Amino acid sequence: MGIVIETSIWEPSSSVFIFIFFSSFLLLSLFPFYLSKHAPTTKSSAFSDHPFSSSSPRFQLYFLLLYFLASVLEGLWSVYGEFELVYYGISKEDTVTFMLIGFGAALFVGSLLGLVSDLIGRKKTCLVFFILHLIVGILKMVAPSPSFWVANLCLSLATSIFSFSFETWAVVEHDKVDSKLGHRQDILNETFWLMTFFESASLIGSQVIGNWMVGGNLEKGIGSPSIAATLLAILGITCMSRHYDGTTKIMTFKDYRMSFSVYILGDRRIWLLACAQACLHFSIAVFWILWAPTLVADGREVFLGLIYPCLLGARMLGSTVFPWLINASLRTEDCLTCAFVVQALLLSIIAYDYEEIGVLVTQFSLYHACIGLILPLLARLRTMYVPNELRGGMISLSLAPANAAILFILMQRGYYRTIENSTMIVFAAVGLFMAAGCMYVLKRCGKQPYQNWHKL
């Protein structure tokens, strides 16, 4: 008589998604009431009457829709990324090489794209982002066995551009009018947390689109997301070109080099901000590399497709906390210090303490809620300290140490097997503790007045 062992695949309860949705809705719906009771003035006067001025709601909607579209493109390729590699015969060893090439391109080429963006124009760089995705989409559609190495390079460069181009473009466009009206920081704060909120929502949407297009037949429908990506890229190029403005004043290379040396490389407060940003980028990359292996350790069966939107929903919820903290007159550095410490403690527990799946998912969600809060806070600090004309170069160069560290640990883990997954998570936790220390020191350094370098 045989023994039947029943197995079950763990998945989050539907109540988790309901909680995230209603919590986000509650925070957003109650915030105007809180603002009317505690804020000295309203933001209505911040909007100009110009039909397409950078301070108008119309521009903000236009920008957020483009950012939403770009975020969907970023997430669409990762829905069946690993399965697609296996389907086309990419071995496990080649997958490691695949990742190394991607992070290597981000390190050696992507780190310089921010400098190029500042010199040629931010909106042009955003346009290049959509063109790169279009190239990948067409390549996968027309080639029966697409060159994943070429696609990987294009997507890595596109991701590097995504990390700085849209933010710098939005800040520069807002600053054309908002700085004159005196409401610059209020409008930018709103844009920053909405960017994080929209990005998280669009990543969930990309999963829905990818699953819908592939359908139940993975083998026949594996190339379907390429069609969606191509159409979305064409839509993005059309929208960017239609409202393209080539009259933006750009510095010469000589002036840019001198300004960058003085205002970025010569200011230790910028170094502290860049270090914190690099540590966060490193921890996020380590998390997305190891989150699935951590959950399925020891043969545990998990429905990863439902956990992924749960994590992104937690990030959305974290972003909705941002306006409450800012309008509570809390120091940005203090909020960041606390958020980084919480993240570091969570990763420290995950690294060395064996947990049940439900507890792990809870910790993962809290980690991503902190990300949803940290991203707009860091963007706010960049607005305080970094000149708009140098913002793209500062962001891209600050990510270079993180990409170098990721390359190192991938080589040690993937090729030499000298470190374990838990050690990689510990490195990420140590980096977050360093980020918290940077924010503490930055607070003691004080704030650099914006008007000192507004006109370079």
| Residues 344, 216 within the same domain | no
| Section 84-111 average pLDDT | 84
Q: What is the pLDDT of residue 18?
A: 87
Distance CA 72, CA 291 (A): 21
**Whether residue 348 is found in the same domain as residue 261:** yes
- Residue 261 in any domain: the answer is yes
Please say if the pLDDT value at position 51 is more than 60. Answer: no
Q: Which of 246, 269, 303 is the last residue of a domain?
A: 246
Neighbours of 253 (CB within 10 A): 10
Distance CA 133, CA 159 (A): 10
pLDDT tens by residue, 56-89: 567 788 899 999 999 999 998 887 777 777 777 7
**Looking at the DSSP assignment, which residues form a beta bridge with residue 10?**
302
Mean pLDDT score of the chain: 84
Asked, for residue 198, whether it belongs to a domain, the answer is yes
**Of 246, 278, 295, which residue is a domain's last?**
246
Q: Between 84 and 48, where is the model more confident?
A: 84
Q: Does residue 1 fall inside a structural domain?
A: no
Instruction: Find, among 367, 390, 369, the residue nearest to 453 by Cα.
Output: 390
Q: What is the pLDDT of residues 190-233, one digit of tens each?
A: 899 999 999 999 999 998 888 888 776 666 667 778 888 999 99
In 156-304, at which residue ranges do the beta strands (DSSP E only) sit? none
| The pLDDT of residue 454 is above 50 | no
| 350-396 per-position pLDDT tens digit | 988 767 888 899 999 999 999 999 999 999 999 999 999 999 999 99
**pLDDT mean over 321-342:** 91
Does residue 30 fall inside a structural domain? no
The answer to whether residues 75 and 209 belong to one domain is yes
Maximum average pLDDT range among 3-12, 170-179, 362-371, 409-418:
362-371
For 112-143, write each residue's pLDDT tens digit.
999 999 999 899 999 999 999 999 999 888 87
How is 40-105 classified by DSSP, letter by letter? SS-SGGGS-SSTT-TTSHHHHHHHHHHHHHHHHHHHHTTTTHHHHHHHTT--HHHHHHHHHHHHHH
CATH code of the domain containing 346: 1.20.1250.20
| 283 is a domain residue | yes
Q: Are residues 225 and 315 in the same domain?
A: no
From 220, 246, 272, the end of a domain falls on 246
CA contacts within 13 A on the Cβ side of 189: 17
Token output for 171:
């800040």
For the entire predicted model, the pTM comes to 0.90
The answer on 143 and 81 residing in a single domain is yes
**Looking at the structure, do residues 237 and 288 belong to the same domain, yes or no?**
no
| Within-domain flag for 11 | no
Q: Which domain holds residue 404?
A: 251-456
Domain count, the chain: 2
Enter the tokens of residue 122.
Answer: 């931010």
Element (H, E) at 370: helix 357-385
Are residues 68 and 216 located together in one domain of the fold? yes
- Considering the domain architecture, whether residues 103 and 125 belong to the same structural domain is answered as yes
Kindly state whether residues 65 and 213 are assigned to the same domain: yes
Contact assessment for residue 168 and residue 391, using Cβ atoms and an 8 Å cutoff? yes
- Detail the DSSP E strand segments found in 262-386: none
Secondary-structure percent of the chain, ordered helix, strand, coil, rounded to 5: 80, 0, 20
Indicate whether 221 and 268 sit together in one domain. no
| 239 is a domain residue | yes
Residues 317 and 209 in one domain: no
What percentage of the chain carries pLDDT values higher than 90? Answer: 50
**Is pLDDT of 146 > 50?**
yes
Pair 311, 215 in one domain: no
